[in-house]
Amino acid sequence: MIIIALGSNIDGPWGPPAATVLKALGFLDGEECRLVRASALVETSPLGRIDQPNFVNAVAQVETAMGPEALLEHLHSIEAMAGRRRGEKWGPRVLDLDLIDYDGLIRDQPPPILPHPGIPDRAFVLAPLAEIAPEWRHPVLKQSAAELLARLGGKSEGAILGPRG
């Protein structure tokens, strides 16, 4: 199962954050990738730097013949089309696409590190992931997204504020 997290918190050429995430989902369903399913959009508090707008987040499952490196490049090209300029870590962004899991592959050599190291602490990934793939299990921790989310006990990065979109 290949899982991608999507997020946006500032307007870009594709419109406001919700429109940007939806447009990005469209780009994940093309020749290089096939969108299998996507979560609802959720509004979340920012991670790290809190003096910025809330995020709109979603999670998608895709199928692709691309390897993880090529898929990461593809994700970066979608971000660039949306106007993403890499800069401040955890700062505002028009679009952020993260490769969360690639068929359970475990590796610590970038790029990309798999599974994404932030998964266990990020409600904004875990809640939508539990929605679309309740059978998914973390490749290292062997827990489902719902189990990892429950383990956070309200102490998570990027708290869920509610549905949006």
Q: Catalytic residues, which ones?
A: 84, 93, 96, 98
* CB 139, CB 105: distance < 8 Å: yes
Both tokens of residue 87? 């800069």
- How many angstroms separate the CA atoms of 16 and 131, rounded? 24
Both tokens of residue 141? 């921790």
- How many angstroms separate the CA atoms of 10 and 26, rounded? 19
